[in-house]
Amino acid sequence: MDFNLGNISVCDYNKQIKTKASVEADIIVPDTKPDIGRILSVKAIADVSERYMRKDKVIFSGKVKFNILYVGDGDPSAMCSIEYSSPFNHQADMPGADDSAISIGSCNVSRTVFDVKNSRKLSVGAILELKAEAVRQSSLEAISGDNQFPDTPSHSMNCSSDFLAACQEFEINLSDCMTLVSNSENCEVYDVTIRPDIIEIKTVNNKAIVKGNANIGVLYGDAGEICSYDTEATFTEIIDIDSVSAEHMISSHFEVADSSYALSVSDAGNQLDVDFKLRGSICAFEHSNFCLASDIYSPDYNYDTKSRNASIMHISKCNKTQTTLKDSIILSSADPAVSKIYYMDAMVGHSSVQNDGSVVKVSGSVETVVVYADEEKNLCRIHHNTPFETELTADTEGAYSMVNVEVACVNYGYMLASSREIQIRAIINAEGKLTDLEDISLITDFALDADSPIDKASQPSIVVYYPDSNSDIWDIAKKYNTTCEEIIKLNSLDSYSLKSGDKPILIPKRQINRQ
């Protein structure tokens, strides 16, 4: 007896972890730089260049690039900068993971710290929020849910799943050229900040088209004066991804992995060439519907059924949302009044996610650092924390076992409302993916022994069955070696369901039809 088999993709393993890693470094001030008077800002960019899985572990490795702005000792109006890179390696537990799983991940710097040891030495640190998702897909054959043999009753179930059709990590190398408002040969660049904002991702056959903007901010010195320059670079990149198509649901992540710059003097002014690297990942999920046999039995002959437990994955893409966060920094009486703002940096600190049915609530904070000059042109620093809340609407309602939300600050700005109030603005992007796993039992084989009929000699000619709240005609027919149709016909029933209090039903002994 042959059954139609269906090939389906199931999820053998799908798990996500979120872990924190601390990266610390001791920095000696280069001989070309003045002594440290006071730290103004410590910024960090993390580049996770490698992420792989071993037995029950996921290992992250890469580097963190620090940029330190400080005031030189003896001159409170002079700004200096130091760049330093520190390698890191972090290991986290992920039970069940191994190198056969596809690894997807992200990294976010949620906090930076510093400690001045002496005028020529300081310690810096960064808190990294690392995420990893391990997905392992397999394809297997199961018996179709079509009732192909009337004499062999079968139950079927309609199922749907989203399987990972394509996943690729890649790097996008971008550059921009700008002319600074400076003709000084002593122009010095202190810091370059890159904020990517992915506007659109389109997929076609084997390609993904990524469109976005990069907000670039430059802090530099010109003949003793501190200046800033802001611009926006628009980019469109085409990424080759095998097996991706326009019908797939796309999940993506992008982060700045590195940046560098080169300054050159020309007649038109100082030209600054900025190069930066975006590390990204795009995953394509394909939706499929299938009908499978959930139970098969024979009312007349002995049989053998083979089954396998499997997990099917359901994905709901949350709608991407953008939130504009506004706040005011009110200086305390101990803070010097603001004369001019030179620098602002903002990053999303710790964020938390709460899944409430069809709505995902995201809350967290934005860490803001402002560097300004007081009325005597001395450089000062303010650190401020602003909480935020936003919501993502899922495609479907339900409780999901995994919620993966990416939150990033894509742009920010400020306005000096008064000498004691700074109004700040930050644009927060949030995009999420909800995942749930459904465990099902698949029938992979059914063997009927036509030479071994069921012994019904001891079975009564007719059975009177009193239904209760758990009664099901399918289970009754299987137990007494008959069929649902025979029970329904004999008892003039109009459905397969029974309930407690229904009248007793008659179950006849089925005679084997020997042809």
Q: Taken in order 194, 195, 199, 205, is the CA torsion positive or negative?
A: positive
The tokens for 450 are: 């036509």
Write down the pTM of the prediction. 0.86
Calculate mean pLDDT across residues 389-397: 82
- The pLDDT, as a whole number, for residue 514 is 47
Which range has the worst mean pLDDT, 67-76, 109-118, 342-351?
A: 342-351
Asked if residues 217 and 343 have their Cβ atoms less than 8 Å apart, the reply is no
- The pLDDT, as a whole number, for residue 467 is 82
**Helix-then-strand count for the chain, H and E:** 2, 21
456-to-295, 300, 301, 452, 488 alpha-carbon distances in Å = 22, 9, 10, 12, 21
- The pLDDT, as a whole number, for residue 375 is 93
Q: Cα(207)–Cα(143) distance, rounded to whole angstroms?
A: 35
Answer yes or no: is pLDDT of 515 > 60. no
Answer yes or no: is pLDDT of 513 > 60. no
Q: Cα(212)–Cα(370) distance, rounded to whole angstroms?
A: 27
pLDDT tens-digit profile of 170-189?
999 999 999 887 766 778 99
Q: Cα(367)–Cα(323) distance, rounded to whole angstroms?
A: 16
Nearest to 133 by CA among 243, 58, 45, 41: 58
- The pLDDT, as a whole number, for residue 34 is 94
Calculate mean pLDDT across residues 493-502: 71
3-state SS class at 119: coil
Per-domain residue ranges for the chain? Answer: 7-139, 154-296, 318-440, 458-508
pLDDT band (50, 70, 90) for residue 398? low
Task: Give, rounded to a whole angstrom, the gap between the first and last alpha carbons of the chain.
Answer: 16
What 225-229 contacts at long range (C-beta under 8 Å, 24+ apart), as own/partner pairs, is: 226/79, 226/190, 226/342, 226/373, 227/180, 227/181, 227/182, 228/342, 228/343, 229/178, 229/180, 229/181, 229/272
Which range has the worst mean pLDDT, 2-11, 112-121, 191-200?
A: 2-11
The CATH architecture annotation of domain 458-508 reads: Roll (3.10)
Q: Cα(305)–Cα(232) distance, rounded to whole angstroms?
A: 64
9-to-14, 315, 328, 346 alpha-carbon distances in Å = 13, 14, 52, 43
Q: Cα(326)–Cα(388) distance, rounded to whole angstroms?
A: 10
Asked if residues 496 and 474 have their Cβ atoms less than 8 Å apart, the reply is yes
Answer yes or no: is pLDDT of 471 > 80. no
Listing DSSP states for 408-471 in one string gives EEEEEEEEEEETTEEEEEEEEEEEEEEEEEEEEEEEEEEEEEEEEE---TTS-SEEEE---TT-
Asked if residues 510 and 456 have their Cβ atoms less than 8 Å apart, the reply is yes
Q: Cα(207)–Cα(244) distance, rounded to whole angstroms?
A: 7
Q: Is 227 exposed, middle or buried (0-12, 13-18, 19+ CB in 10 A)?
A: middle
Q: Is 487 exposed, middle or buried (0-12, 13-18, 19+ CB in 10 A)?
A: buried
